[in-house]
Structure 1
Amino acid sequence: MSTLDETTPPALPGGVLARAMSGIALVLAILGGAGTLGIMALINADVIGRSFFDHPIPATAEIVSAAIVAIVFLQLPNATAEGRNVRSDMFLTRLRARSPRAADWVDCVHHLFGTMILAILMYYMGPEIIDSIEGRETVGLYGIWSMPRWPFVTCVLIGCIMTLAAYALLTAGLALRAARGGPRP
C-alpha cells in the first residue's frame, strides 16, 4: 500500500483490483472526454449552421442536455479513483496533523456515505434503463430528429457502478489504514 500525502485526498489502494478499476475508470474518462469534444463540435456546427446558413442542427439542445449527464457520469469514476472529487480538506488536514488515524476514520465514513449514495442511485437507475429500452424512449424532437435514450442512461448506470466500486475500495483502504494506525512506510 502506498503512503498518502497528508494534504491530498486518498487515491485507490494498490492491488490487482485497484489497478483494473483505475484502468477501466481511465477508459471511461477518455470516452467522456471524447463526448465533450463531440458536443462541442455539435454546438459549433449548430451555431455555424444557424448564423451562416440559416439552418440550425435540429435537437441540438436536447442531445447536449442528455450527453452532458452521460459525460459527467463517465468521468466521475476516474475522479473518484484518483481522489480528485470536489471536497473541502481543511478539516481533514487539521485533524490529520493531530491524529492521522482519526482523520482516516472520518475520511472512511465520508467514502462510506458516497458508497451508499451511489448504491441508492443505482437502485433507481436500473429500472430506468429497462423502461427506456422497453418504452423505446427517444431524445430529440419527435417528427424531426430523434435517437434512443438508452445509451445515455446506460452511461449513467456504468458510471454509477464504477464510482460505487471506487468509493467502496477507498472506504476499505481507509478503514484498513486507520485500523493499522496509519500508512505503512
Structure 2
Amino acid sequence: MSQAAGQAAAVEESAGPDALPPRPWAAARWLGRVSSALAVAGTLGTVAIMTIINLDVGGRYFFGKPFPATAEIVSAGIVSIVFLQLAHAVGEGRSIRSDMLIGRLRRRSPRWADALDAVHHLAGAAMLAVLVRYVWPKIVDSIADDETVGLYGILQLPAWPFAVCVLAGAVLAALQFLLLAAAHARAARLGRAP
C-alpha cells in the first residue's frame, strides 16, 4: 500500500460519524474549560447523591430511620447533574444521536455530512434556547417565592440553585451547539482539512 493510500485510510478511519471539525477559536477553548469545570461539578454531585442514597439505605436497615428527604433531593439533583454535564458532552461530540445516516453520508460526501451536522447542531441550539426561555422565569419566581425542595420542617433546601444549574448547563450547551454548527458549516464550505 502506498503512503498516500495509508494516510487516506487513516484520515477516513479517524473521521467517523462523531468526527468534529477543528475549532481554533478562543471562544471554543474558553467554553471547553468552563464546560469541563461544570462536568466536574456534576460528577461531584453524582458522588453526593450516591452518598445520600447509601445513607438512606443504611439508615433504614441499621437504625430504622431513613435519611430525610432523599427522594426529593435526588430527583432535583439528577436533573441538575444532567445539565451540568451536557455542555461537555456536546463539546466532545458525545451527544446522543443516530449515526446510521451521517456515517454513510460522511464516507460518500464529507461536505454534505458536515452541512447536515451543521443543521443538526443548529436544531440542538434552538431547542436549548427554548428551554432557557422557559427556565429563566422559573428561577426568578423560585427566588421571589422562596421555593424549597425537601420535607417541610425536616430538611429543606432552596430550589433556585438546582434551577440555576439547569439554566447554566442549557446556556453553555446551546453555545457549544452554535460553535459546532459554525465549525461544521465552515468545514462544509471549505472542505475538511486532513
Give me the whole-angstrom Cα distance separating, in 2, the residues matched to 1:39 and 1:102: 43
How far apart are residue 155 of structure 1 and its match?
A: 0.2
Pairing 1:9–2:18 present: yes
CA deviations 1:16-63 (Å, max 9, x no partner) are 111111111000000000000000000000110111011111100000
| Preserved contact between residue 122 and residue 161 of structure 1 (Cα < 8 Å) | yes
The one-letter code of the counterpart of 2:121 is H
Residue 89 of structure 2 aligns to a residue whose secondary structure is helix
Give me the whole-angstrom Cα distance separating, in 2, the residues matched to 1:53 and 1:26: 39
CA deviations 1:115-168 (Å, max 9, x no partner) are 100110000011010010001000001122111000000000000010001000
Residue 157 of structure 2 aligns to a residue whose secondary structure is strand
| Preserved contact between residue 17 and residue 106 of structure 2 (Cα < 8 Å) | no
Pairing 1:184–2:165 present: no
Q: Give aligned pairs, total.
A: 182
Give me the whole-angstrom Cα distance separating, in 1, the residues matched to 2:81 and 2:182: 27
Give the TM-score normalised by the residue count of structure 2: 0.90
**What is the CA RMSD across the aligned residues, in angstroms?**
1.4
Flag structure 1 segments of 5+ consecutive residues without an equivalent.
Answer: none
How far apart are residue 176 of structure 1 and its match?
A: 0.7
Matches within 5 A, 1:54-133: 54-133=64-143
Report % sequence identity: 49
How far apart are residue 97 of structure 1 and its match?
A: 1.3
Give the TM-score normalised by the residue count of structure 1: 0.94
Runs of 4+, deviation exceeding 2 Å: 3-6
> Please, which of 46, 69, 72 is the counterpart of residue 36 of structure 1?
46
Flag structure 2 segments of 5+ consecutive residues without an equivalent.
Answer: 1-10
Give me the whole-angstrom Cα distance separating, in 1, the residues matched to 2:18 and 2:186: 16
